[in-house]
Amino acid sequence: MDGITIFTILYIALSVYIYNVYASFIRHGICVKN
């Protein structure tokens, strides 16, 4: 794999991780709010 491929994989993995953390934070906020 070249640098661009590795960067793309890391970027996608990081995006998925941030999305999961953000979704969990939103659900937690909704639970606390309600």
* Angstrom distances, CA of residue 31 to CA of 18, 21, 22, 25, 34: 20, 15, 14, 10, 5
Nearest to 9 by CA among 18, 22, 1: 1
- How confident is the model at residue 33, as a pLDDT? 64
- How confident is the model at residue 28, as a pLDDT? 82
- How confident is the model at residue 34, as a pLDDT? 54
Residue with tokens 């909704």: 30
pLDDT tens by residue, the chain, 34 residues = 689 999 999 999 999 999 999 999 888 877 766 5
Task: List the domain boundaries for the chain.
Answer: 1-34
